[in-house]
Amino acid sequence: MCKRVSLLSIFVLLVTFVDGFSYNKRSNTPRFINIAYGTASEIVYDLNSGTYEVFANKRTIISDAYAVVKNKEQLISSKDYELIKYAETAVKDKFGVGKKYTIALTKSGLPQMEQVFFVYPGHDYFFTEVALKGSNISSNYMAPLVSKKASIYAKGDNRTLFVPFDNDTFIRYNAKSIGVTPVENTSAEVGAVYENHSRKGLIVGSVEHLIWKTGVLTRGTNDDLSDLCVWGGYTDQKVTRDNGAHGSISGSVVKSPKIFVGYFSDWRTGLEAYGKANRIAEPPFVFDWTKPVPFGWNSWGVIQEKLTYDKAIKNVDFFANELPKFRNGETAYIDLDSFWDNFTGGMRGDFSKLKEFADYCKAKGLQPGVYWAPFTDWGFKGGAEREAEGSKYKFGEMWTKVGNAYHDFDGARALDPTHPGTKKRIDYIIDKLKTCGFKMIKIDFLGHAAAESDSFYDKSVTTGMQAYRVGMEYLINRMDGQMLVYAAISPNLATGRYAHIKRIACDAWKTIKDTEYTLNSVNYGWWQTYVYNYVDADHIVFASEKEGANRARLTSGLITGTLILGDDFSAAGVWNETAKKLLQNEELLAIPKSGVAFMPLNGNTGDKANEVFVRKIDGSLYMAVLNFDGKKKLFTVPLDRLGIKNSSYQAKELFSGKDLKINKVLKYELNGADAAIIKIALR
């Protein structure tokens, strides 16, 4: 079992053992199953020991791996069983045509265990899961992959990556350095162990998030791991925000999340493959977004609680009259964040002024947006007897209960997503916003809906992720496909089904420090660009910062995926001129129109951001260079590190418009607290 201690499968397949065979371990005769996957890779399962090894390019990447599960309080390992059956069946699903290998293990006194492997030609990864079958199974811990020995065969600048569960509390990704002293790391949903110079790396993580929260534990030195464990049932107050243990799943069959395992020549392409696999395994529940990449503005950047109708209208006018080129697909979204109820006199007030605002936006060729946090009670200190909007239910009935207390976080109390009062409240607010004619909604503090609880109103729901699914599916269904959905604070992987856009980090404002914080998340979480339609760098605020800091802040948005501004353009100030100068540069605006986040050049910055990001777009290589320090710096990047092979290229720096000539090595001097974007013509 790892350090910390379902029933729904995306692809349901019936398996029989017609073409398999049985093996009794008491015979002491070694018997191996060879399971090929990808290019020159295979899994070798030892029927004598109940363990398996993972090979890539004829090297053993993972040794003596096994499964560990809990049934109630009993801990069971695949190594505990005696009789093993094996079967191979064809599988055809969204990953392609492949094979499913099922290892069924039995022993008197134990429930049946099944270890399952899915492999597909052309994919340098496989999936594995474990299940228990029997009467009255109950588990809150299922680990399909546990090993005491793994290696990536690349010594140097070795790293193990911490990935947060969500983007709350200004949490940071952390590429922890692994040297001669053992380093332990527990990451949420996915882990990566790699060497920065060669870029070789191992990626393991869950692609199913409807039932379980998944943890990935690594421990080791240099390029060798003495512990590798991936398990469903992970909670940690500082990471998943839970105040208790993971809920249990009960029934005649209980299975783990499906786990992605792959060894890659470049850890970055490995994480991108993992991101893409998530979207295939759990396709979007929200409607398909076929319109262009959204550009827009959000009121929280500067106005915040001082939001008024007059300020909102003046910001609409600024975009309509002063920024006519800041568009994608002939429109931009003007989004009212929290405190739009200043227009209405409260959530039960008169919504006519909100409708006036929405109508005014449309008349100006813009699209109106709005905000809501559907699973939080911000007024909980007012008492349990307050009546919730949309019904006669009291807020006290709807609160998520944990032990003798409630789930309070970020200054708000969580609401049970399965409670009819929570659903009636969603009906009331969303129907009002739809009637007003809003075309975009920013939904926030969604992690409150994923909290583990002692119990939920819906007794068939026993885990936080099951509750999250109930709440989010209800919310999205109620929107009826009328609004672009933008998720702010929310689980990073599990929200992929429900939102078109996901904010990559927590709130960010105007300074070079805000830019660095945001880009830490882009540096190690950019691959989520393949989990969502788009990821976003939060509202871009210029304020009265110097030109270099403004270029850097804008760059953080340009390379993340969408572009949302945040200054108060209803007030006079230097930020108005900054916006008019920077946001009508068509070469700059062409970058986010691709909608794909840039990848980092390197992955050895710990919990800080990288300084160089790259992405190929339409026959050109774009390189964003940022200097977070206060002093001038010379950047030197060999072209082969950028993945381009010719010795010389024509290039252009897009902020200044200056042409550059690059020969073998790109050298660029950049002032402190500044940024540059270099476009290199590849053809």
Q: For the segment 498-538, what is each residue's pLDDT rounded down to a tens digit?
A: 999 999 999 999 999 999 999 999 999 999 999 999 999 99
Work out how many domains the chain is built from and give that number.
2
Instruction: Confirm whether 662 is domain-assigned.
Output: yes
pLDDT digits (tens, 9 = 90+) for 252-274: 999 999 999 999 999 999 999 99
DSSP secondary structure, 366-383, as one string: -EEEEEE-TTEETTGGG-
Q: How far is CA 628 from CA 111, 248, 670, in A?
A: 56, 46, 10
Q: Is the dihedral of CA 593, 513, 506, 612 positive or negative?
A: positive
Alpha helices in 504-634 (DSSP H): 512-525, 547-558, 574-582, 586-589
pLDDT higher than threshold 60 for residue 668: yes
Residue 21 has pLDDT above 90, yes or no: no
pLDDT in tens, 317-344: 999 999 999 999 889 999 999 999 999 9
Assess if residue 541 is contained within a domain. Answer: no
DSSP-derived pairing of the beta strands 224-232 and 405-406 = unpaired
In a domain, residue 191? The reply is: yes
Identify which of 511, 434, 438 has the alpha carbon closest to the alpha carbon of residue 478: 434
Structure confidence by residue, pLDDT tens digits, 179-225: 999 999 999 999 999 999 999 999 999 999 999 999 999 999 999 99
**Secondary-structure percent of the chain, ordered helix, strand, coil, rounded to 5:** 25, 35, 40
Domain holding 80, by residue range, is 21-281
Using alpha carbons, select from 450, 531, 98, 597 the residue that is nearest to residue 283. 531
Predicted pLDDT at 435: 98
Per-residue H/E/C for 312-355: HHHHHHHHHHCCCCCCCCCCCEEECCCCHHHCCCCCCCCCHHHH
Among 132, 111, 148, 375, residue whose Cα is nearest residue 232: 132
Residue ending a domain, choose from 281, 296, 320: 281
Determine the pLDDT at residue 3: 47
Instruction: Let me know if residue 461 belongs to a domain.
Output: no
CATH number for 673: 2.60.40.1180
Does the pLDDT value for residue 244 go beyond 70? yes
Contact indicator for 188, 261 with CB cutoff of 8 Å: no
Task: Note the pLDDT tens digit of each residue in 423-451.
Answer: 999 999 999 999 999 999 999 999 999 99
Average pLDDT taken over every residue of the chain: 95
pLDDT digits (tens, 9 = 90+) for 116-166: 999 998 899 999 999 999 999 999 999 999 999 999 999 999 999 999 999
Give 600-604's long-range contacts (Cβ < 8 A, gap of 24+).
Answer: 600/268, 600/522, 600/523, 600/524, 600/526, 601/637, 601/641, 601/642, 602/196, 603/159, 603/161, 603/175, 603/194, 603/196, 603/199, 603/267, 603/268, 603/523, 603/524, 604/157, 604/159, 604/175, 604/177, 604/196
pLDDT of residue 646: 83
Query: Looking at 239, 259, 281, which one is the last position of a domain?
Result: 281
Q: Tell me whether residue 157 is in a domain.
A: yes
pLDDT at 23 exceeding the cut of 70: no
In a domain, residue 393? The reply is no
pTM of this prediction? 0.95
CATH number at residue 152: 2.70.98.10
Reduced to 3 states, what is the DSSP secondary structure of residue 515?
helix
Task: Say what the pLDDT of residue 25 is.
Answer: 60
CB burial of 140-164 (b: ≥16 within 10 Å; e: otherwise) equals bbbbbbbbebbbbebeebbbbbbbb
Does 258 map to a domain? yes
Angle between helices 420-436 and 464-479 (to 10 degrees): 30
pLDDT at 17: 37
Tell me whether residue 171 is in a domain: yes
Output the pLDDT for position 31: 87
- As a whole number of angstroms, the distance between CA 498 and CA 578 comes to 35
**pLDDT over 90 (residue 77):** yes
- Give the domain-ending residue among 281, 300, 327: 281
Q: What is the pLDDT of residues 298-324, one digit of tens each?
A: 999 999 999 999 999 999 999 999 999
Average pLDDT score over residue span 623-652: 94
